[in-house]
Structure 1
Amino acid sequence: MDRWGRKKTLIVTEVPLILGWLMIAFAANIYMIYVGRLMVGLGSGMVGAPARVYTSEVTQPHLRGMLTALASIGISLGVLIQYTLGSFVTWQVLAGISTIVPILALGLMIFMPETPNYLIGKQKPEKATKSLAKLRGSTYDVEGEVDQLQNFANKNHTNVKMTPKETLEAILSPSALKPFGILVLYFMMYQFSGVNTITFYAVEIFQDSGTKMDKNMCTIVLGVVRLVFTIIACIALRKCGRRPLTFISGIGCGVSMIGLGVYLYYKYQWDHAEPPIEPVNTWFPVACIFVFTITCTLGFLVVPWVMIGELYPQKVRGIIGGMTTCSAHMFVFIVVKTYPFLSSVLYQHGTFMLYGCISLTGCIFFYKCLPETKGKSLQEIEDYFSGRISTLKTKKGATALPNYDNNLNNTKPPIISVEKDKLLSS
Structure 2
Amino acid sequence: MDSVSSSTPFLPEIRPGGGDTSDSHSDSATAILVLSTVVAVAGSYVFGSAVGFSSPAQPGIVDDLGLTVAEYSLFGSILTIGAMVGALVSGKIADLLGRKGAMGLAELFTVVGWLAIAFSKNAWWLDIGRVLTGFGIGVLSYAVPVYIAEITPKDLRGGFTAANQLLICCGTSMTYLVGNIISWRLLALTGIIPCLVQLVGLFFIPESPRWLAKIGRWDGSKASLVCLRGKNANILNEAAEIRDHTRTPEQAKDFGLVDLFQRKYAHSLIVGVGLMALQQFGGVNAIAYYASAIFSSAGFSYKVGTTAMAILQIPMTILGTLLIDKSGRRPLLLVSAAGTCLGCFSIGLSFLLQDFKLWDFSPFLALGGVLIFKGSFALGMGAIPWVIMSEIFPIHAKGLAGSLVNLVNWFGSWIVTYSFNFVAQWSSAGTFFVFASVCGLTMVFITKLVPETNGRTLEEIQVSIIS
TM-score scaled by length of structure 2: 0.77
Partner of 1:166 in structure 2? 255
Asked whether the 8 Å contact 1:69–1:306 carries over to 2, the reply is yes
Matched, 1:344 2:425: yes
What pairs with 1:4-83 in structure 2 (closer than 5 Å)?
Answer: 4-83=97-176
Residue 400 of structure 1 is matched in structure 2 by none
State the partner residue of 2:356.
269
Relative to structure 1, is the Cα distance of residues 216 and 123 closer, same or farther in structure 2, using a 3 angstrom cutoff?
Answer: same
Within the alignment, does 1:324 sit opposite 2:405 as a pair? yes
Distance 1:44 1:162 in 2: 31
User: Per-residue deviation at 1:167?
Assistant: 2.7
Shift of 1:284: 2.2
1:253 aligns with 2:340: yes
Report the CA distance between 1:200 and its aligned residue. Answer: 1.3
C-alpha displacement at 1:341, in angstroms?
2.5
Q: Are residue 382 (structure 1) and residue 459 (structure 2) matched?
A: no
Q: Deviations over 1:312-337 (max 9, x none)?
A: 11102122212211211111111111
- Residues 328 and 452 of structure 2 are in contact (CA less than 8 Å); yes or no, is this contact kept in structure 1? yes
* Matched ranges for 1:14-413 at <5 A: 14-153=107-246, 158-162=247-251, 165-211=254-300, 214-270=301-357, 279-280=360-361, 282-345=363-426, 347-387=427-467
Cα offset, 1:308, TM superposition: 1.7
The alpha-carbon deviation at position 163 of structure 1 amounts to 6.8
CA displacement, residues 71-128 of structure 1 (integer Å, 9 cap, x when unaligned): 1111111111211121111111111111011111111012211111111222222111
* Alpha-carbon contact 1:175-1:382 (below 8 Å) kept: no
Per the alignment, in what secondary structure is the counterpart of residue 62 of structure 1? helix
- Structure 1, unaligned stretches of length 5 or more? 271-276, 388-426
How far did 1:281 drift? 5.3
Contact 1:176 1:313 in 2 (8 A): no
Contact 1:77-1:227 within 8 A present in 2 as well: yes
Unaligned runs of 5+ in 2: 1-93
Q: Which runs of 4+ in 1 moved over 6 A?
A: none
- Larger radius of gyration between Structure 1 and Structure 2: 1
Name the TM-score, length of structure 1 as normaliser. 0.84
Q: Is the Cα contact below 8 Å between 1:245 and 1:299 reproduced in 2?
A: yes
Aligned partner letter, 1:94: L
Amino acid at match of 2:369: C
2:95 is paired with a residue whose SS is: coil
Cα offset, 1:378, TM superposition: 0.7
What is the DSSP-based 3-state SS (H/G/I as helix, E as strand, rest coil) of the residue aligned with 1:258? helix
The answer to whether the Cα contact below 8 Å between 1:49 and 1:308 also exists between their aligned partners in 2 is no
Superposed CA offset, 1:140-199 (max 9, x none): 01233222222233xxxx113357643335422344342122121111211111111111
What amino acid sits opposite 2:331 in the alignment? Answer: P
Q: Secondary structure at the match of 1:166?
A: coil
Task: Answer whether contact 1:257 1:352 (CA < 8 A) is retained.
Answer: yes
Counterpart-to-counterpart distance in 1, 2:185 and 2:302: 22
- Between the two proteins, the alignment pairs up a number of residues equal to 374
Provide the aligned C-alpha RMSD in A. Answer: 1.7
Contact 2:252–2:396 at 8 Å: present in 1 too?
A: no
**What CA distance in whole angstroms lies between the structure 2 residues aligned with 1:131 and 1:340?**
48
